[in-house]
Structure 1
Amino acid sequence: MVKPMRAALCFIAFLAILLSGCSLDERSPGSETQETGQNRNGDSGTEELPVPENDNASSPDDASGETNTNVPAPVEEPTEPIAPPTNATWVAAGDVMMHMPQLPAYYDAKTKRYDFSPYFESVRAIISEGDWSLANLETPIAGKALGYSGFPMFNAPTELAEALREAGFTIVTNANNHSLDRGAEGISRTLAALEAQQLVTKGTYRSKAEAEKLTIVEKKGIRMGLLAYTYGTNGIPLPDAMPYAVDLIDEQKMLGDIAKLKEAGADFITVALHFGTEYQTSPSDEQMKLARKLIAHGADIIAGAHPHVVQPYEMVEVTEQDGTIRKGLVIYSMGNFISNQRGGTKDYGLLMKVGIRKDHATGKTTIQEVEPIPTWVYRYKTGKVNHYRIVPLGETIAERSIPDLSRAEYDALARGKATIDQRLASMSAAPVTVPAAP
């Protein structure tokens, strides 16, 4: 009887607890559910617990109140990857001239056409390495209709344009002292011949619109701005109706042109300058002052011509307003690339090869390695006519690649190369520092 009585007493006690409104278990403070009944103060009604609004709220099954680690993290928007730096190559040559002895060997009587491509066979591979390959054309190529002639009033066959393109050149500048040797008609015919070979031109123009058009040549995503100027036109005045026909050196105009190219988004700027003193092997004070000022104002490469001999080159370091250093390159004269001139190093020239790099993360374009490649015009006779071939000087000497040259002639070439190398090194050993333009 004791056990049944004990069980009955326990049941009565259990009922008493229920009737008193006490719960056997308390809900966790973080519960999101609603509870109906009496509250802790004995008041009857409904108590609504706050529901957390963020994704890290505890679930009803998590009595610990810890963050639910199964909630996924916010998804970030994908970003465009930054392209690695781009490397490209700039190549330029000196004066392309056409004296009368250069013509006869290259005329085909059957086709009645000229073929000057043999001039460039030995240097075609170097020229073709350039993403931008520039030649300075120091003669009109207005064709037979205006009469062929050499010094002092030049005019050459239009087929020269075809040979330049086949050699690997993509750009021809022709602001020089011989630009007007055949007047406005010579300019028009020359430009037509160059354009027929898809060559970019700069320096002479047929209209004001052409003269004012900005020239930017993009290769591998790098935009090169191009300008070209000459000190004069051998006393031949610009046509009255065409004062824009030839770009003449005018410091304020040049600075303005550089600024326009920069505003138009040019990554670097090349300025072809026909300046200096003929046959002088070092630059004049006027050359250095002008070239360095153009670099200080935003130009990056000065491609010099006119002296007909190789002059030194130099690196110019510009301290920008933000304290960074920008490097510029001044090539004072690349000499004669092709001509009939001999002696006094007039038969030597340069192919300048320059590395260009654009950093896409910073947007800055910089000059990298600079490689001057001396060239020589090998002239020889077949019968009574002259033949010409431009050869890379160092390679020719090292490989003895011209069988017809004697040992004495190779020794003379080696001395010539030593002279050119010494000249090039005279200003390039240490950079010149200039402040940025205000």
Structure 2
Amino acid sequence: MFQLRALLLLVFVAACAGSPNAGPPAELAPPPLRASGSPAPAAPAERPVVLARARFAAVGDILMHGAVKESAAAAAAGDNHEGYGALFAGVAPALRDADLTFANLETPVAPKADRGSRPFVFNAPPALLGALRDAGVGLVSFANNHVYDQGVAGLVETVELLEKAGLPQVGAGRSCAEASRARILEVNGIRVAFVGATLLFNDDGNAGPNAPCAFRLDEKVALREAQAAREAGAELVFLSVHWGVEYQTAPRQAEIALAHRLLDGGFDAILGHHPHVLQPVEVYETRDGRTTFVAYSLGNFISNQSRTYVHGVQPAKVGNTRDGLILRFSALRKRYADGVIRTELAELRAEPLWTENNALVRQRDKKVPAYIRVIHTDTALERARARLAETTAREQLVELHRQIELLEARRAIAGQIVGEEILP
């Protein structure tokens, strides 16, 4: 099913590999001699000029399980957003490297509307929003199955606190029209639009078009918003969608068909979430000739899932919910030789993430504080290998070898699922 995806992706990457701003060679060879009267060889086609570039990143589900909040509390300091900044410190440099980073906020932030947290019902303090913003997240979707965990009042309070924190959101609003509306942002000189939607609700609190609302995906409405965004000046239009089957590492045919219809209908990329595990990234050429892509699931960004997973002891799939991804892509505005200016997607690649969790240590010693952190897999591997080269202590050598084996294995699993061709 994904042979076509892989083929298109190779074409997509190859097309983006050369630098459009590369200058002429330092020394030009003289033109070849030709017979008198023979036609001159055709001049080489002028390469397109890149007028603007915007770099994007996307990560998956932010799940505020109780242990995640305990981990933040254990790290609380005066300058790290009540400890929530510590959760993302290991991945923040990679997120900040993009001009805009997207995430799925799968928890209300509603201290006033708080009805309590318990398994499958989330709430988080406002400090989380400041920590996400400082870590580099610049846009979230709040359209997901947990949007009503703290009731209608919790949805409204979350939207208000996101606005107060200066963190834009899509997918929820004070009315259904506001929830489904495309949000247009200017990113490094390029205007892009985002629409947020969900196909799933744990508790559907939508009470009518003029009441607070989360956008339940409707193809006609979504495509209408995409068209309206283009008419308002958006050069590319992206869709965030909450869909799929939890813990399945491949999309169903229903998601594939829906994604293709939405891309053919006008969206340029789809960022999927909900399964809590990674799913493939597919490059798709639309009927009108655009190169688009869909990331069926970006996996978890942070959670307490698979907390007792031990590499080499349990089946590898048990650890899938601790795998995440930074999906990177760029928007390039190009001027072609005929004067036509087009904005296109380029530079698609994926960087695996892993969530560290000391749950097993805490089972043995209840006094040990919770420690949950998102780390950048390749960065952690580089550091572990460097330490290994410098360490002689036997216990440290064993621990470093175990860490390297774990991270190498999880990196390989991520590549097998999303597509090895887009990993660095």
TM-score w.r.t. length of structure 2 = 0.75
Identity between Structure 1 and Structure 2 (%): 31
Separation in 2, partners of 1:241, 1:369: 39
Could you tell me which residue of structure 2 aligns to residue 117 of structure 1? 85
Q: Report 1:6-405 matches (<5 A).
A: 84-107=50-73, 114-143=82-111, 146-207=114-175, 210-211=178-179, 213-240=181-208, 242=210, 245-320=213-288, 325-342=289-306, 343-360=318-335, 361-380=339-358, 383-400=367-384, 405=399
The range that moved more, 228-237 or 205-214, is 205-214
Deviation of the 1:407 alpha carbon: 2.2
> Would you say the 8 A contact 1:148–1:156 is kept in 2?
no
Query: What amino acid maps onto 1:425 in structure 2?
Result: G
2:422 & 2:92 partners in 1: Cα distance?
27
Distance 2:227 2:130 in 1: 34
8 Å contact kept, 1:97–1:137: yes
Does structure 2 retain, via aligned residues, the 8 Å contact 1:139–1:156? yes
Structure 2 residue identity aligned to 1:332: Y
**What is the alpha-carbon distance in structure 1 between the residues aligned to residue 198 and residue 329 of structure 2?**
23
Distance change >3 Å, CA 411–CA 341, structure 1 → 2: same
The 3 A distance-change label for structure 1 pair 240 and 311 is same
Q: Would you tell me which structure has more helix in proportion to its own residues?
A: 2
Higher mean alpha-carbon deviation, 359-368 vs 275-284, is at 359-368
**RMSD (CA atoms):** 2.7
Q: Say whether the 8 Å CA contact 2:108–2:150 is kept in structure 1.
A: yes
Gaps of 5+ in 1: 1-81, 430-438
Taking the aligned partners of 1:259 and 1:214, their CA distance within structure 2 comes to 10
Task: Give CA-to-partner distance per residue, 1:55-113, whole Å, 9 cap, x none.
Answer: xxxxxxxxxxxxxxxxxxxxxxxxxxx985211101110001100011223237897x7
Compared CA separation, residues 331 and 318, structure 1 to 2 (3 A): same
Aligned to 2:43: none
Paired with 2:90 and 2:148, the residues of 1 have a C-alpha distance of 31
**2:108, 2:124 within 8 Å by CA — same for their partners in 1?**
yes
Q: 1:353 to 1:262 in 2, by over 3 A?
A: same
Q: Mean Cα displacement is larger for which, 218-227 or 267-276?
A: 218-227
- Given that residues 126 and 161 in structure 2 are in contact (C-alpha distance below 8 angstroms), is that contact kept between their aligned partners in structure 1? yes
1:144 Cα deviation after fit: 6.3
How many residues are aligned here? 344
Identify if the C-alpha distance between structure 1 residues 107 and 399 changes in structure 2 by more than 3 Å, giving closer, same or farther.
Answer: closer
**Does the 8 Å contact 1:224/1:268 carry over to 2?**
yes
Unaligned runs of 5+ in 2: 1-47, 307-317, 388-395
Q: Residues 55 and 328 of structure 2 are in contact (CA less than 8 Å); yes or no, is this contact kept in structure 1?
A: yes
Q: 1:402 to 1:347 in 2, by over 3 A?
A: farther
Secondary structure in structure 2 of the residue aligned to 1:92: strand
The 1:401/1:148 distance shift into structure 2, 3 A limit, reads farther
| Residues 110 and 158 in structure 2, CA contact (< 8 A), matched pair in contact too | yes
Structure 2 vs 1, CA of residues 333 and 213 (structure 1 numbering), >3 Å: closer, same or farther? closer
Which sits farther off after the overlay, 217-226 or 236-245? 236-245
Write the letter of the residue equivalent to 1:389.
R
Q: Is the 8 A contact 1:148 1:157 kept in 2?
A: no
2:413 equivalent to 1:419: yes
Matched-pair contact (CA < 8 Å) for 1:215–1:225 = yes
Q: Is the 8 A contact 1:312 1:426 kept in 2?
A: no
In 2: Cα distance, 1:110 partner to 1:86 partner: 40
Q: 1:282 to 1:250 in 2, by over 3 A?
A: same
Question: Deviation at 1:225?
Answer: 0.8
Q: Is the 8 A contact 1:101 1:340 kept in 2?
A: yes
Structure 2 residue identity aligned to 1:411: E
Deviation, structure 1 residue 153: 1.4
Structure whose CA Rg is larger: 1
Are the structure 2 counterparts of residues 110 and 161 from structure 1 closer, same or farther at C-alpha, using a change threshold of 3 Å? closer
The residue type paired with residue 67 of structure 2 is: P
* Secondary structure, counterpart of 1:170 in structure 2: strand
One-letter code of the match for 1:131?
D
- Would the aligned equivalents of 1:140 and 1:186 in 2 still touch at CA under 8 Å? yes
